[in-house]
Amino acid sequence: MTNIAVVGTGYVGLVTGVALSEIGHKVTCIDIDQAKVERMRRGESPIYEPGLDELMTKNIQAGRLFFTANHAEGFTDKDVVYIAVGTPEKEDGTADLRFINQVAKDIATNVKQDVVVVTKSTVPVGTNDHILSVIKEHLVHNVDVQMVSNPEFLREGSAIDDAFHGDRIVIGADAGYAGDMIEDVNEAFGIPVYRTDVRSAEMIKYASNAFLATKISFVNEIANICEKTGANIEDVASGMGMDGRIGHQFLRAGIGYGGSCFPKDTKALAQIAANHDHSFELLEAVIRVNNEQHRSLTNKAKEAFGSLKGRRIALLGLAFKPNTDDMRESPAIAISQELLLAGAEVVAYDPIATENAKRVMPEGVTYVSTAEEALRGADAAFIVTDWSEIKSLELRAYEQYLKEPYVFDGRNCYSLEDVASTSLNYYSVGRKAVVNGKLVETV
């Protein structure tokens, strides 16, 4: 059992803290937001993540999981401090290290015993060295501080499962005992550990996210060519994925990636490269392709209708992916902007993310509380997020409620054969369109 503090209770920090307590460590999660701390003490997660509330409650009751807004109290008697604060994107695409720097100073002024500092936040290569120098500069007591880079690979919506069944735990440490200690801390997860130096660990995180984003943009470009050549992206991706060197994952064509990681980390890595006089052309293209992919549904609707002026569009799903209320960089934002710019009226429905959506979506979008309400009287439906509730919506609901039988499906939720037996005009990604019951090439 190790005494651990986790600073920052956003997605990464909270899931990390809860998971570490579940494997037997005594964990104190620190956050500056007192109201949030109160909620978490009651076992209420501030984020929507399946299974998290239950695990929090269990470990609070077991006396292994604590929450505090008081840094001095949080750092008392801790052998390990995890940094899990945000690294938002600055205007030039680089990571904003304001919160990281503040935590470094807080650690320096509060720790009274030797401590290993573990960085979970995604930070540019070299940041751990920078954190250590800030800590050493402000250190009040004569203690030893060592750094470990331990990037997270959790996916929102399945973060709990990923925490206990991830593919690897990356531990980046230079000389000293810190790497061994963090390997011990993680032993009970039973997940393969990969040891490397600090800078390589920092790079593994960026390179992994950039590679996955590249797979998505690649398959989206193949989908765009499928549409022009009459091929079917679902079959193409399945056939490609059977090659073990390629694999099936992250080959789902759609409306482009969103979320808190891929958009931010791809831009940050391109910027890191630029700062070192290297132009990362491939990654720049991945980002451009993704931005363009956000427009694909609207482009199809414009083609089908001629003009979208005065058309009422039902947006089904707003979150950047299912099983999360996270709206960060959701394609729904860009899609709504495009639609409003084209003079359309936007009526939106999401099972969970509506309150978060209201904060980041453009002005002028109307929100409703059921899919049927969104569809009723609309000229077209746009399927944006493949929530299981939305995927399982019967095709006859569209026939029944839409004014015009047009469905633009950004997540390929329905089989073309099923749609062909309805009266719907259906446009999806990388597949033939269905018009008047017939499969047609879109160009």
The residues that touch ligand UDX, with contacts defined as CB under 6 A, are 152-156, 209, 212, 216, 250-252, 254, 257-259, 261-262, 320-321
- Please identify, using beta-carbon distances, which residue of 106 and 152 lies nearer to ligand UDX: 152
Q: How far is the CB of 351 from ligand UDX (least distance, A)?
A: 16
| 438-440 vs 433-435, strand pairing mode | antiparallel
Return the sign of the alpha-carbon dihedral for residues 122, 321, 211, 361.
negative
Check the annotation: does 122 bind a ligand. yes
Q: How far is the CB of 265 from ligand UDX (least distance, A)?
A: 7
Q: How far is the CB of 234 from ligand UDX (least distance, A)?
A: 12
- Please identify, using beta-carbon distances, which residue of 179 and 263 lies nearer to ligand UDX: 263
Say how many C-beta atoms besides its own lie within 10 A of residue 330's C-beta.
Answer: 29
| 312-316 vs 425-427, strand pairing mode | unpaired
- Please identify, using beta-carbon distances, which residue of 378 and 383 lies nearer to ligand UDX: 383
Between the alpha carbon of residue 203 and those of residues 8, 117, 119, 161, 212, the distances in Å are 22, 18, 13, 24, 14
Question: 136-140 long-range CB contacts below 8 Å, 24 or more apart?
Answer: 136/108, 137/108, 138/104, 138/105, 138/108, 138/109, 139/108, 139/111, 140/108, 140/109, 140/110
Check the annotation: does 205 bind a ligand. yes
Check the annotation: does 253 bind a ligand. yes
Active site residue 413: no
Which entry of 29, 226, 261, 413 is annotated as an active-site residue?
A: 261
Check the annotation: does 155 bind a ligand. yes
Q: How far is the CB of 129 from ligand UDX (least distance, A)?
A: 23
Check the annotation: does 215 bind a ligand. no
Q: Which of 161, 164, 152 is nearest to 189 (CA)?
A: 164
| 145-149 vs 115-119, strand pairing mode | parallel
d(CA 206, CA 214): 12
**E strands along 174-302, which residues?**
193-196
Burial of 190 (0-12, 13-18, 19+ CB in 10 A): exposed
Check the annotation: does 251 bind a ligand. yes
Check the annotation: does 132 bind a ligand. no
Check the annotation: does 328 bind a ligand. yes
Three-class SS of residue 97? coil
- Please identify, using beta-carbon distances, which residue of 319 and 371 lies nearer to ligand UDX: 319
Concatenated DSSP letters of 296-310: HHHHHHHHHHS--TT
- Please identify, using beta-carbon distances, which residue of 199 and 215 lies nearer to ligand UDX: 215
Structure tokens, 191: 């997940």
d(CA 372, CA 398): 8
Q: What are phi and psi of 398, to 5 degrees?
A: -65, -45
- Please identify, using beta-carbon distances, which residue of 179 and 256 lies nearer to ligand UDX: 256
Q: How far is the CB of 354 from ligand UDX (least distance, A)?
A: 18
Check the annotation: does 156 bind a ligand. yes
Q: How far is the CB of 222 from ligand UDX (least distance, A)?
A: 12
Q: Which of 327, 2, 30 is nearest to 183 (CA)?
A: 2
Q: How far is the CB of 137 from ligand UDX (least distance, A)?
A: 31
- Please identify, using beta-carbon distances, which residue of 234 and 338 lies nearer to ligand UDX: 234
Q: What are phi and psi of 366, to 5 degrees?
A: -100, 140
Structure tokens, 353: 């993310």
- The answer to whether residues 10 and 30 touch, using CB atoms and an 8 Å cutoff, is no
Catalytic residue ranges: 261
Binding site, annotated residues for substrate: 153-156, 205, 250-254, 258, 321
Residues belonging to the binding site for NAD(+) are 31, 36, 87, 122, 156, 264, 328
Binding-site residue ranges? 31, 36, 87, 122, 153-156, 205, 250-254, 258, 264, 321, 328
